[in-house]
Structure 1
Amino acid sequence: MPAPSSVTPASVTPDWTFEREHWRRGHFRVAGVDEAGRGAWAGPVTVAAVILPGLATEYPFRDSKQLSAAQREAYAAEVRRVAVAWAVEHAWPDEIDRLNILGATHAAAGRALARLRPAPQALVTDYLRLRTELPLTAPPRADALSYSVAAASLLAKTERDALMLELDAQHPGYGFAAHKGYGAPAHRAALERLGVSAAHRRSFAPIRRQLQEDASPRLLDEQD
């Protein structure tokens, strides 16, 4: 299967295509699963799971990347209002460093799915091939194509953004409130100026390099 494209036309709207395939097989509680923060250098990776009512209703939910912050917050509130069940879980940097980012994402997804009541009967994910006994559909760009996954993307993005605002207050100077822990030029400059914080993922290559650079002067001093 080809790698998912990073670009989705704004005109694309979600529908129930993937969910209907599961409904036809008698699996009516279909959970959409999506994550936020997988590529960031700092903060958690956040995974949401959402079961929407199986009524083929049209919703305003969209891939969170297509929306403004205000729209995301409004639609996330609507997701929580209409969902049959929803849950959000986080994998923090220590778990990411221990398991690697994919393993930590899978772990957080497993915790979110375990919290859903009623339990899901099938899953649709955004290209995330979870290890599960449940029927699973994992197409690329599902956050833009599936209502359930779009709903999950809204919860994951808004909850993670809120946590990054908290981390910004705890670790001032890094700009977490602005770039949300991703590798923006301002983030790289802050790392060079301030060093690595407790919120950073030490297993990620840019952070490993910064740790090595920070340690180099001390090693030279010890040799003198």
Structure 2
Amino acid sequence: MSSYTIKEIEERLKSIQLIDDPFLEEVKMDGRKGSQQLLNKWHNRYNQKQQAEEKFLQMSSYERDLHKQGYRFIGGIDEVGRGPLAGPVVAACVILPEGFKLLGLDDSKKLTEAKRDEFYEYIREQAVSIGIGMIEAEEIDAINIYEATKKAMLSAIQQLSIKPDFLLIDAMPLQTPFPTESIIKGDGKSISIAAASVIAKITRDRMMKEIDQEYPYYHFSKNMGYGTKDHLLGLEQHGITPYHRKSFEPIKSMLK
């Protein structure tokens, strides 16, 4: 093994995928500290990938079972923006192709912003169809956030270019022409719902960043409309905007 430099070992390990590759045993017998560090790094990467594979397999179980039952276009639905003081509630419905694979896909809240952006682009490229529904603050005030969330989800379904034959929905019960299953914390249990959560969040976050350009005092690009200290200070000093929800506290009390 000493015939290999540490750099050569590092390069060769990058191409090894299997745990029983004979080269791993060779590195194990190499007494150099650098070799052992590289071997440990390889095992860590391998274990992380195995965990990601297992997680993705678990999150694909709903879709696999439905495909086996003959369903072809399975739509996952999720929303973002129920809690903020400003901005719309946004829902997405995503139909993924059978055999879709994206290791690391999860509830969008568990992903970094960089990873969400990366996954957003990949999902947009690979999805069979994507629908987005959006309900603005004025209508949220008129019908309440629960009804607005349902309406956004139903709108997302209507925006699909291909009609689904089954829907997996994150928590919310919906009345639709299609068979459905509502899954509590579904964005961490179904790849279709997780994909919808990524699409919905990126769509809404980008909107809030645009609104921030118009109303910089509220720091929407950082808080996305949630009631952070900076946001509340902006409300106190500059009042409300057309994007604020008047039925939400403390805005409701400010208007009395």
TM over 0.5: yes
Give the corresponding residue for 1:37.
Answer: 81
CA distance in 2, matches of 1:58, 1:78: 8
Give the corresponding residue for 2:189.
Answer: 145
Give the corresponding residue for 1:201.
Answer: 245
Q: How does 1:5-24 map to 2 (within 5 A)?
A: 13-14=55-56, 15-24=59-68
Deviation at 1:191, TM superposition (A): 1.2
Aligned-partner residue type, residue 146 of structure 2: L
In the superposition, the TM-score normalised over structure 1's length comes to: 0.85
Deviation at 1:50, TM superposition (A): 0.3
CA shift in 2, pair 1:24/1:195, >3 Å: same
Q: How does 1:68-79 map to 2 (within 5 A)?
A: 68-79=112-123
Is the Cα contact below 8 Å between 2:133 and 2:159 reproduced in 1? no
**DSSP-derived class of the 2:117 partner:** helix
Is the Cα contact below 8 Å between 1:195 and 1:211 reproduced in 2? no
After superposition, the C-alpha distances for 1:109-165 in whole angstroms (9 at most, x for unaligned) are: 111111212200111111011121321111111111111011001110001000001
Aligned-partner residue type, residue 13 of structure 1: K
Is the Cα contact below 8 Å between 1:31 and 1:52 reproduced in 2? yes
Is the Cα contact below 8 Å between 1:48 and 1:153 reproduced in 2? yes
Q: How large is the RMSD of aligned CA atoms in angstroms?
A: 1.8
Q: 2:210 aligns with which of 159, 166, 189?
A: 166
Kindly indicate which of the two structures has a greater share of residues assigned to helix.
2
Whether 2:141 is the aligned partner of 1:90: answer no
Is the Cα contact below 8 Å between 1:191 and 1:210 reproduced in 2? no
Comparing 93-102 and 11-20, the one that deviates more: 11-20
Q: 2:201 aligns with which of 157, 160, 165?
A: 157
CA distance in 2, matches of 1:201, 1:13: 38
Greater Rg over alpha carbons, structure: 2
CA distance in 2, matches of 1:47, 1:71: 20
Give the corresponding residue for 2:221.
Answer: 177
Unaligned runs of 5+ in 1: 1-9, 213-224
CA distance in 2, matches of 1:80, 1:113: 16
Unaligned runs of 5+ in 2: 1-50
Q: How does 1:182-193 map to 2 (within 5 A)?
A: 182-193=226-237
The structure, 1 or 2, with the larger RCO (C-alpha pairs under 8 Å, 6+ apart) is 1
Q: 2:95 aligns with which of 51, 59, 62?
A: 51
Is the Cα contact below 8 Å between 1:13 and 1:62 reproduced in 2? no
Deviation at 1:49, TM superposition (A): 0.6
Is the Cα contact below 8 Å between 1:60 and 1:75 reproduced in 2? no
Comparing 14-23 and 134-143, the one that deviates more: 14-23
CA shift in 2, pair 1:58/1:188, >3 Å: closer
Aligned-partner residue type, residue 175 of structure 2: R
**DSSP-derived class of the 2:252 partner:** helix
Give the corresponding residue for 2:72.
Answer: 28
Is the Cα contact below 8 Å between 2:78 and 2:187 reproduced in 1? yes
Give the corresponding residue for 1:128.
Answer: 172
Aligned-partner residue type, residue 156 of structure 2: A
**DSSP-derived class of the 1:49 partner:** strand
**Paired positions, count:** 203
Comparing 157-166 and 99-108, the one that deviates more: 99-108
